[in-house]
Structure 1
Amino acid sequence: MTTKTIAAIAVALSVSVSAFAANAAEVELRLSHWVPATHPIQSLGIEPWAESIKEASNGRINITIFPAQQLGAAPDHYDMARDGIVDISYTNPGYQAGRFPIYSLAEIPFQATNAKDGAKALHEWYAPIAETEMKDVHFCLINPHDPGTMHSKTPIKVPADVKGKNIRPAHATMARFVSQLGGASVQVPAPEAREAIAKGTADAMTFPWNSIYIFGIDSEVKYHLDMPFYLSSQMLLFNKDTYEGLAPEDKKVIDDHCTPEWSKQFSTGWADNEYSGRQKMIDSPDHELYKPTDEEVQMWRDAAQPLIDSWKEDVKKVGGDPDKIYADFEAALEANDSRY
């Protein structure tokens, strides 16, 4: 190989490396979640959000997504963000009973009617509270699913039907509700819900509509309570050092993607996808939907009232004013046309 050839190769390599450096992101962030990569929350929520951040930063910020509990179990995601195991985590606060007593208000049944405007309302209400209740992470946005309901192997129509059954609850608040109704809670995160039903550990579960199909549970449950029951709200949370270490222009990009409007936009695609599962069940001969009467709906709402009372006591224990917090919560829902 001649000296001229070696020099030409060196120049080519230099140009290639320079081009790579010019195209490489200046900030690489890792985002972890716990649902399958095929779940609509990735394609309809997380991916568009991450791509928008990349575009808004002119390619400076790149977010790599790690789905399906690759970096840690679903209940660990808050601590993963806190401890810097990941830069961004998709966290369900309800997977840790008692840890976030104020936010658990959002998990009580019959509060919000939808996940789209509801997401914006929850964000507006909770963002200032997160500064203290979740002070060891940086709060970004809220992502509730379309209101879920009861799905079971045998019919559940009224609160008394829960007595004696083993129920997989969506979160700690729903677990408390099941216990109040005389049922037993089988607390497992969503990725493990099918196994609990299939093995007979659970007789029923609380889940949004289309996730019954997404997680392959449609062959395990036949009966469905046809009413908007409850929300389970996930969050995107940043590691504090990651966020604080961003350059001012990059921090602004993140701030612009951590707004009430982004909570709504992030939640819309998944909400629509979840609701589509209801029609699938209506059209299927293998599933039966039961729509409660007005009197039966009131029975459910009355049964849930003790959860509000318990929540108020829990908030008092951490020094909060439950009446003001609840009034602010209702006001945010009403302002966004999502109050139950």
Structure 2
Amino acid sequence: MENPMFNKNIISKALLVSAVILPFSNVASAAVTLKLAYAENSQPVKDALQYIGKAVAEKTNGEVKIQYFPDAQLGGERELVEMTQVGVVDITKVSSGLMESFAPVYGVFSLPYLFTNQEQFYKVMSDKDVMDPVYNSTASMGFTGVGWYDSGARSFYMSKGPINTIADLKGKKIRVMQSETSIKTMQLLGASPIAMSQSEVYTSLQQGIIDGAENNEFAMTIARHGEVAKYYSYDEHTRIPDIILMSNSTKNKLTPEQFKVLNEAIQESMVMEQEAWKAEMDKTRELAKIEFGVKFNTVDHGPFQKAVQPIYDDLKKKPELYSLYQKIINIK
């Protein structure tokens, strides 16, 4: 297992957080201020995270407050995980794709065509037998998972024509995340994967450096990729959830009742986010069609699933991941 190194900026970030929190030091001893930091996110996620603070403050009569550091004020997702490890940040939200480098078991969510549909995905993510071992896989590192948010399904979007069959991907240059599984998936589908940051995708599509990319529908509107890629094809090759993380040290700051309230607020925020996500996706699709002229189509997943079978054959060499995979596919 990879041993993530702390970013050299963590100490300076810690001093920044301490300086911001200092004005609260004269609050009565019963009061606690927790720090919640996150990188840039969709509106459903932002609203859900804000709900946690409101609910906790209300249910504890102001004894527990949450101070927010939004939109990557303290750094990117890796930095936020590292700050949560050492207790500088109490709560954060990151992609489970990133979490694979901290605990390999999270890699199961990057497997292609793992979930049949959104309904099965929700059932799996709500199953304690599946998720508790995943959440607790980082307990020895100073933090654990305490919940999840929907971040949609990743599908292909292209600049010069839709993906209708697997043959349409042959030789196409597709932007992917820096993920071994993502790269292997594209290769098995006949595409040429190109790993690059999200910030480079728009100009790369515009200049023809890449033929397409893969992401959820928000990429077409929020990132305005619909201006340079007019074809969105629903193959839904991955559903990579967001994971809510909490520092182990946070529990020591709270009474048992306060900690219970915090956990309840997080669970309530999950339900809120899932409902808001569905509604926002409907609005996003319509906006992409009307404002950018994006055309949406669905594809037969069967041939795509068959093409990536070697990934699952190799999974048998990783007993922990394969066992988790078996649990997931048995949930219908």
Task: Place the TM-score, normalised by the shorter chain, in its bin.
Answer: 0.7 to 0.9
Match of 1:302 in 2: 306
CA separation of 1:129/1:96 partners in 2, compared to 1, >3 Å: closer, same or farther? Answer: closer
- Name the SS for the 1:257 alignment partner: helix
In the superposition, relative to structure 1, how do residues 201 and 95 fare at CA in structure 2: closer, same or farther (>3 Å)?
farther
Alignment gaps of 5+ in structure 2: 1-25
Shift of 1:154: 2.3
Q: Residue 16 of structure 1 aligns with which residue?
A: none
Q: Pick from 23, 32, 37 the counterpart of residue 32 of structure 1.
A: 37
Q: Which aligned segments of 4 or more residues in structure 1 are displaced greater than 6 angstroms?
A: none
Give the AA of the match of 1:64.
Answer: Q
Match of residue 185 from structure 2: 177
2: CA distance, partners of 1:115 / 1:51: 29
Deviations 1:188-243 (A, max 9, x none): 45555445544544331111113420122221211111344321211110111123
What's the TM-score once normalised by structure 1's chain length? Answer: 0.76
Name the structure 1 match of 2:160.
154
Pair 1:99–1:276, CA change in 2 (3 A): same
Residue pairs, 1:1-340, within 5 angstroms: 21=27, 26-35=31-40, 39-95=42-98, 99-113=102-116, 115=118, 118-119=121-122, 121-124=124-127, 125-133=130-138, 135-136=140-141, 137-155=143-161, 156-169=163-176, 172=179, 173-188=181-196, 190=198, 193-198=201-206, 200-259=208-267, 263-283=270-290, 286-292=293-299, 296-313=300-317, 315-316=318-319, 320=320, 322=322, 324-331=323-330, 333-334=331-332
- TM-superposition CA deviations, 1:154-177 (whole Å, max 9, x none): 223323333333322256233331
Q: Relative to 1, partners in 2 of residues 1:58 and 1:147: Cα closer, same or farther, differing over 3 Å? A: same
Q: Is the 8 A contact 2:39 2:70 kept in 1?
A: yes
Which protein is bigger by CA-based radius of gyration? 1
Per the alignment, do residues 258 and 120 of structure 1 end up closer, same or farther by CA in structure 2, a change over 3 Å counting?
farther
What per-residue deviation string (whole Å, max 9, x for no partner) do you get for residues 45-79 of structure 1? 21123322222222222222222221112343322
SS in 1 for 2:185: helix
Cα RMSD of the aligned pairs, angstroms, is: 3.1
How far is the alpha carbon of 1:90 from its aligned partner? 1.2
Q: Which residue of 1 aligns with 2:18?
A: none
Q: Is the 8 A contact 2:230 2:292 kept in 1?
A: no
The structure-2 alpha-carbon separation of the partners of 1:93 and 1:228, relative to structure 1 and needing over 3 Å to count, comes to closer
Inter-partner Cα distance in structure 1 for 2:120 and 2:321 = 25
- Whichever residue aligns with residue 275 of structure 2, its letter is T
SS of 1:226's partner is strand
Specify the SS of the correspondent of 2:73: coil
Deviations 1:134-163 (A, max 9, x none): 542121111122223111112233233333
Note if contact 1:152-1:223 (Cα within 8 Å) is conserved in structure 2: yes
Q: C-alpha distance in 2, partners of 1:170/1:115?
A: 22
Residue-pair matches, total: 303
Separation (CA, whole Å) in 1 of partners of 2:264 and 2:81? 22
* Cα offsets for 1:229-260 (capped at 9, x unmatched): 3212111101111233322222111232344x
**Which letter does structure 2 place at the counterpart of 1:231?**
R
Residue type of the alignment partner of 2:149: N
Separation in 2, partners of 1:191, 1:34: 14
SS in 1 for 2:238: coil
More moved, 24-33 vs 226-235: 24-33
Inter-partner Cα distance in structure 2 for 1:116 and 1:25: 42
Displacement of 1:305 in angstroms is: 2.3
| Identity across matched positions, percent | 20
Q: 1:325: Cα distance to partner? A: 2.1
Query: Which residue pairs with 2:23 in the alignment?
Result: none
- Change in Cα spacing, 1:97 to 1:63, as seen in structure 2 (3 Å) is same
Q: TM-score, normalised by structure 2?
A: 0.78
